[in-house]
Structure 1
Amino acid sequence: MLMWLRMAPALHLIFLLIIHIVSSADWGVNYRSSHICALKDSSVTISCTFTYPSTGYQIMEVFWNKDLVKQGVELANLSEDPEYSQRLQYLGDEQQNCTVRLSHVTEKDEHEYYFRFITNVTGGRWIGYPGVRLSVTDLQLEAPERVTEGDSVRLTCKSSCKLTDTPTFIWYRNSHTLTEGLTDNKLILDPVRREDAGRYRCAIDGHTLASPDVYLNVTCEPPPRKVSVLINGSAVMESGGSVSLMCISDSNPPALNFSWFKENQSSAVGSGQSFSAVQSGRFYCEAHNPHGAQRSDAVSVTVHHGSGRNIIIITVTSGGLLVIIFIIIIILCIM
């Protein structure tokens, strides 16, 4: 008996410590996800459970709120907020489940949401912090403005955040549903055909929201390709001569118009398939056909003037291959 009395204070401390640990662990709110990305005008379900001591406590009030305010200020019940009262539905109970559903979400609903419960014991209240961050997105269709028949074309249905629910994307061309070429949020047209031209939009199965229409233009023939500049004529120049350049391309239909430009100048310095360069600079050409234009790599022409002689150096850059042709013309003043 004496031994028990001596051990009692120590046992009492251990008992209090155990009670404290169990008590802290018995309070809490658990959310299935800390971030939800939802489609505009859809319904969002925030799954939630909560715990509190099973003995001596009784739930008096449960509610959801958003965006914590200053400490000491009571949090507002969203079900009493006019912006939420008709759209917020509590699906839980007053025991463990605190799941809630918010319908017809818009960008104005992008907040952090918290669950709060209050018991019959003074100080016996809890808020689930941190809460659940809600992001709301629409759909945008990303597609090239112009493609050529035979190309491989990819259209992408994009959202500003990754949708929480695994979505099934639906694709439309001229309001008709497409069933081929679908890969997740992408539509692959390989090869693209003339009949693939039209208005495209994407949506998600089970939702009414769709992306804005995007028109895909499929041309029959490509713009000029493999445009390059060639040096025409003899590489030997006399004093006061010029360097003749020619613009060539692989084009069907063939290129009919050509423009010449000097780098760092916005306006053209010449037109026609041939061009005579009489001064130093980097020159390139643009070839045009009814389906578009393509420019060549640059040709550098450098003219050095010396006493009694002119030296013209031409440097051609094409396709990453540097070809340097040195043409030295020496005109003797006295034979």
Structure 2
Amino acid sequence: PPRRLLISREDRGLESGREGSRAALRCSVNSQPAANLTWIQNGERLNISVNSNQLWLLLPHLTYRQEGEYQCTASNKHGTKAKSANITIQYSPKETSVRVSGTRHAIRERDNVTLSCFSKSNPPVINYSWFRVDVNRTDFVASGKSLNLGVVSRDNDESWYYCRAENELGPSNSPLWNLSVECKYNKGEETRDMRGEMG
């Protein structure tokens, strides 16, 4: 079967790359007869060579979705061999969103409401900020992953909110999230989608 299957990167180690940069992985093998090489990530074939003992995988513009394990397989009539390498991508926060906790139904007056900010990032988020958007103005509310609004009322708390997640590579704002507060004794209302709307 194929022997000495190696994975190398053209510029430096395989450990990490910054979003937007270029990476190239080389898979090489000693094989007689020459092997068929295949690059695979998450079960998807990315690149294939036939009867060649070397195969490059070019990643010209790294994104956070390309983070993960890359596997090279080499096969000929004598057998198959595989080797894997992990690529970690450094990126600013992505998919930032607001979620509500503290209630399982449509928010009503006197409910205790806490909003939480979620985001993917590498390195980790170092700062979360909360903002409230009213007509013609945006106000900073608080810092922290969660915003505890306490017992809410229509007059004081009904508005649009968003959170900002930030790491050393940059910030990301969530979509606007609409806090709609119903009267305490409204009945028959269907549970609303609490994920908010894009602003």
The TM-score, its normalising length taken from structure 1, stands at 0.31
Q: Which has the higher contact order (CA 8 A, sep 6+)?
A: 2
- Give 1 or 2: higher strand fraction: 2
Structure of larger gyration radius: 1
The TM-score, its normalising length taken from structure 2, stands at 0.49
